[in-house]
């Protein structure tokens, strides 16, 4: 069970420096979103390489630097990288069942928003979704959540990381022309779900695996 007691660390200069770094990261990602949709054609291979280099190469280094800065001796355990056992597998299977049931129900209730005529089965699409699931979990549930929980307590910390997870999607939704408040609240709910899952399991693997599975399944179904 989640312990919702507030166990905060004193706010230090290092804390405020970290907040400033996160704000700068979001500003950079907003500029990246603008460049992705305004400087490259969606059919241009250079758009793929630009997106891949800025995310797949940039995010791991950023996460590792922040984790090693805050938790130099315990960064791997703090991020949930060390725990993979029977309990982890149980929470992974349960979370897959929950999200899978939701997707199945939604598909039957709202079939008009899906199309499955030409699912992307390419190896590149598979690798992209693996990378997205792993990298986003590494950042939000691996670093941001433990950092926020340490300073604001478990309840507020999990809520903050879910809000930040929602906001990172705004950095490209706006420029892609797909922004919506309904979608934002749904992404917030996913961030909350994966945050609670990570806290309960004390591991990043259940959320990373289900995050990949969720994105990949939606890609195969093809949200219109």
Distance separating alpha carbons of residues 60 and 57, to the nearest angstrom: 6
Rg (CA), the chain: 18
Which tens digits make up the pLDDT trace of 136-176?
Answer: 999 999 999 999 999 999 999 999 999 999 999 999 899 88
Residue 192 above 70 pLDDT? yes
Which residues does 38 contact at the CB level (< 8 Å), separation at least 6?
175
**pLDDT tens, position by position, 8-37:** 667 789 999 999 999 999 999 999 999 988
**Which pTM was predicted?**
0.89
Domain ranges of the chain: 13-221
Do 213 and 99 touch, CB atoms closer than 8 A?
yes
Residue 84 structure tokens: 């993979």
Per residue in 64-99, pLDDT (tens digit) is: 999 999 999 999 999 999 999 999 999 999 999 999
* 218 closest CA partner among 69, 107, 97, 61: 107
């Amino acid at each position: 069970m989640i312990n919702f007691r507030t166990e905060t660390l004193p706010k230090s200069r290092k804390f405020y420096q970290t907040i400033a770094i996160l704000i700068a990261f979001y500003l950079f990602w907003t500029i990246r979103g603008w460049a992705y949709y305004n400087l490259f054609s969606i059919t241009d291979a250079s758009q793929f390489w630009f997106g891949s280099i800025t995310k797949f190469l940039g995010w791991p280094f950023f996460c590792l630097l922040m984790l090693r800065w805050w938790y130099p001796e315990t960064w791997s355990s703090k991020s949930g990288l060390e725990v993979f056992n029977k309990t982890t597998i149980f929470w992974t299977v349960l979370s897959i069942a929950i999200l899978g049931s939701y997707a199945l129900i939604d598909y039957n209730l709202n079939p008009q928003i899906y199309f499955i005529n030409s699912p992307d089965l390419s190896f590149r699409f598979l690798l992209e979704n693996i990378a997205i699931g792993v990298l986003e979990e590494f950042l939000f549930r691996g670093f941001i959540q433990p950092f926020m929980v340490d300073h604001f307590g478990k309840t507020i910390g999990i809520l903050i990381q879910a809000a930040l997870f929602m906001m990172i999607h705004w950095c490209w939704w706006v420029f892609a022309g797909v922004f919506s408040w309904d979608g934002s609240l749904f992404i917030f709910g996913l961030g909350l779900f994966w945050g609670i899952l990570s806290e309960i399991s004390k591991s990043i693997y259940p959320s990373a695996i289900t995050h990949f599975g969720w994105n990949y399944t939606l890609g195969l179904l093809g949200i219109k």
